[in-house]
Amino acid sequence: MTDPIPPCRSCGSDKLQNVLSLGQMPLANATLTADQLREPEPAYPLDLAFCPRCSLVQLTTSVPPQKLFDTYLYFSAYSQTMLQESQLLAERLIESRKLNSQSLVVELGSNDGYQLQYFVTKRIPVLGIDPAKNIVQVAEAKGVPTLCSYFGRDLAVELRTKNKLADVIIAKNVLAHVPDSNGFVAGIGVLLKKDGLGVIEVPYLKDLLDKSEFDTIYHEHLSYFSVTALNELFRRHGLALKEVERIPLHGGSLRLYVARDGEPAESVRSLLRDEEKWGVTRLETYRSFAGQVAHLKESLKALLKSLGDKGGRIAAYGAAAKGTILLNYCGIGPDILDFVVDLNPHKQGRYMPGVRVPITSPSQLLEKMPDYTLILVWNIADEVIRQQSEYIHRGGRFIIPLPQPKIVGE
Ligand SMILES: [Zn+2]
């Protein structure tokens, strides 16, 4: 028996249409210890639906948040690309908003403080908010004051009564993870100073579809935003979407600037027009994406099989959430992959969820010299390839799975 489809997370419509089912999936970030290999692993359906009324694309299953975030092992500070982007964003905001020791910068989903640290070094007061206890401890130890909590309208009201109002609110890659999108956006409206600015980053739905990035669909990631859907969500809570930029992070993201009033700039209007032309409001757009994903699975499996048949040994790079989805959906397990490498020492010695391939250090690429290494973190493929030039020099080859599987390094 399947559960009834819930109402739309944004507009409440009860007419959601299922567009893609990735099947039963383990939690994408729940890497396993050796002991846990003896136990059964929880799995949940991973189904994507489209709202014909507000165009929001969303998951129809919600896993209880405690299961997802309590011991979240994702320490974003490990990617150089993200650190550089974060420093640049801080510098731009400090200058354009004339931030000083009287200002307050609040970050929602502040992780280990990797973004706020660039304000702290400039003596600008900050407040991080993040629900994962172990990560909050890391942030605090770095000198980034952080509240261990979920963010929503209630917390915003509480902060407001304590006279903690924000000049800038940053929310990077978190809105898409929030079950109550309306409460979260309303909270931003409550917490912003009258002339404050919200800077919100979300992975961009159009990039996901255009580049077949189906592996960015996972249980933590509840909403898949277009500018069309966001525009309606913000307006519902009295916020204006003033400007929008497309940025390359996470396979293509939007950086949105929201304020309490103001008119949308041309950047917003032109993306709205582009989306309309592209088919953001049409069900067929999403149905054809589902066909694309099924095709990608077949071609990747065929490539790996033919390499394996010729005696090629294959490893993978990046024990990230998207890696879990790609490996499990495509059925790529220990029969095909020898191991997965990851720079994050917290993940080494553990196993990929579902497929249970062991995770080890990137130094193993040179020690074991697998013939091919499948880059699961294709969003930082350039960085990986640069770091592993010696591996390529000695004859190793990388496989980039998306949007079409291809071998690089020859
Ligand atoms: Zn809707």
Please report, in tens digits, the pLDDT of each residue of the chain (410 residues total): 456 789 999 999 999 999 999 999 999 989 999 999 999 999 999 999 999 999 999 999 878 766 766 555 555 545 777 888 899 999 999 999 999 999 999 999 999 999 999 999 999 999 999 988 888 999 999 999 999 999 999 999 999 999 999 999 999 989 999 999 999 999 999 999 999 999 999 999 999 999 999 999 999 899 999 999 999 999 999 999 999 999 987 779 999 999 998 888 999 999 999 999 999 999 999 999 999 999 999 999 999 999 999 999 999 999 999 999 999 999 999 999 999 999 989 899 999 999 999 999 999 999 999 999 999 999 889 989 999 999 999 999 999 999 999 999 86
Taking the CA atoms of 400, 404, 405 and 409 in sequence, report the sign of the dihedral they define. Answer: negative
Q: What's the gap in Å between 193 CA and the centre of ligand 1?
A: 29
Q: Which residue has the tokens 């010695």?
A: 349
What one-character DSSP code corresponds to residue 334?
Answer: T
Q: What's the gap in Å between 185 CA and the centre of ligand 1?
A: 15
Question: pLDDT value at position 1?
Answer: 43
Taking the CA atoms of 266, 268, 269 and 271 in sequence, report the sign of the dihedral they define. Answer: positive
Q: What's the gap in Å between 57 CA and the centre of ligand 1?
A: 8
Q: What's the gap in Å between 263 CA and the centre of ligand 1?
A: 23
Q: What's the gap in Å between 236 CA and the centre of ligand 1?
A: 12
Q: What's the gap in Å between 171 CA and the centre of ligand 1?
A: 22
Question: pLDDT value at position 145?
Answer: 97
Token pair for 190: 């409550």
Amino acid at 13: S
Q: Which residue has the tokens 């050796």?
A: 34
Q: What's the gap in Å between 31 CA and the centre of ligand 1?
A: 33
What one-character DSSP code corresponds to residue 147?
Answer: E
Q: What's the gap in Å between 248 CA and the centre of ligand 1?
A: 27
CA-wise closest residue to 46 among 222, 265, 252, 242: 222
Q: Which residues contact 269 (CB under 8 A, 6 or more apart)?
A: none
Q: What's the gap in Å between 7 CA and the centre of ligand 1?
A: 8
Rounded to 10°, the helix 181-191/153-161 angle is 20
Q: What's the gap in Å between 166 CA and the centre of ligand 1?
A: 29
DSSP β-bridge partners for residue 374: 316, 399
Q: What's the gap in Å between 190 CA and the centre of ligand 1?
A: 23
Cα Rg of the chain, angstroms? 21
Write phi, then psi, for 171 (nearest 5 degrees).
Answer: -140, 95
Query: How are strands ordered across the β-sheet holding 57-59?
Result: 17-26, 43-50, 57-59, 223-224
Q: Which residues contact 302 (CB under 8 A, 6 or more apart)?
A: none
DSSP three-state, residue 121:
coil
Q: What's the gap in Å between 158 CA and the centre of ligand 1?
A: 29
Q: What's the gap in Å between 224 CA and the centre of ligand 1?
A: 12
